[in-house]
Amino acid sequence: MGLVFLIQSYSIQDGPGMRTTVFMKGCPLRCAWCHNPESWNPAPELMTHDGNCIACGTCAEVCPESAIIFNQETGRSIKREDCNLCFKCVTVCPAEALTKVGQYMSVEEVVKEIEKDELFFRRSDGGMTVSGGEPLLQWRYVKRLLKMCQERGLHTTLDTSGYAPWEAFEEVLHYTDLVLFDIKHLDPEAHLAATGVSNRLPLNNLLKIPKDKRVWLRIPLIPDFNDSPDHINKICKLAQETGVEKISILPFSRLGDGKYGSLDREQPVPEIIPPTEERLGEIQKQIEDLGIQVSLRE
């Protein structure tokens, strides 16, 4: 069984064509700009959606740990330190103001969901992508998932930070048609400060990927962190040295801001402003001028 937090159909930003993306839960990185903070914890979690709450108080009534406090004036609050994650509150909530994030699923169950979109794959030269979180954290499950998809003639893509033992990475690569390899920062200290881990392991893994394997480098573009012309040039040099197919730019957005509050976490980078289209165009031209294929938001 694998822990999945989302299966997203009709995705156009996780590889070529129309795709179904399977998001695995659990990640060893803590990227300050992450727009999927619900992917971090390698266990099911409780998310709140206060805008949906109808103030019925049913959740507080069924909580066995009295972790949910309901007040007619201030509304609902949750003492997460007392919550035992039984999710009884989720079961009884009539407004879906409380949801469980993370579901254990068999490979067969996930493949069945993916196959529902097979017609769209065929028409668009798409396929399935496994993402996260960090999918290599559950590499044995992911290996079986990709293998089963390939056996059904589906194109497979792995979206990864590369932060995993090479032995695990190599096993998964056997059943991967395309690797989307995230490059956060090439400086070890900057990478450590922003993600909580060094970049040495991912970069070493990138260099070990066989040359006949299709690879796209993906840059989660964060203003004033990794978007300087000098740093972009260094990434381009890495792309040329490793012979990757192209570079994909994923500009920072604030789409995930509300999720932090839903998990009772603070937004770590509230001051960052997404890059302008003009700036994205400049970076795209810089990469193209070096003879490297580049795309935006793919």
pLDDT in tens, 203-237: 999 999 999 999 999 999 999 999 999 999 999 99
Question: Where in the chain does DSSP place strands (E)?
Answer: 2-11, 19-24, 45-48, 68-71, 75-78, 98-101, 103-105, 127-131, 156-160, 178-182, 214-221, 246-251, 294-296
CATH 3.20.20.70 applies to domain 2-42+103-296 = yes
pLDDT in tens, 148-180: 999 999 999 999 999 999 999 999 999 999 999
Average pLDDT, the chain: 94
CB 235 within 8 A of CB 256: no
Amino acid 140: pLDDT: 98
Amino acid 70: pLDDT: 85
Identity of the residue numbered 194:
A
pLDDT in tens, 106-124: 999 999 999 999 888 888 9
pTM here is 0.93
Contacts of the segment 47-50: beta carbons below 8 A, 24+ positions apart:
47/98, 47/99, 47/100, 47/101, 47/259, 47/262, 47/263, 48/76, 48/78, 48/97, 48/98, 48/261, 48/262, 48/264, 49/96, 49/97, 49/98, 49/99, 49/262, 50/75, 50/76, 50/97
CB 75 within 8 A of CB 53: yes
CATH 3.30.70.20 applies to domain 45-100 = yes
User: What is the band of 72 on the pLDDT scale with cuts at 50, 70, 90?
Assistant: confident
Q: Is the pLDDT of residue 63 over 80?
A: yes
Domain range list for the chain: 2-42+103-296, 45-100
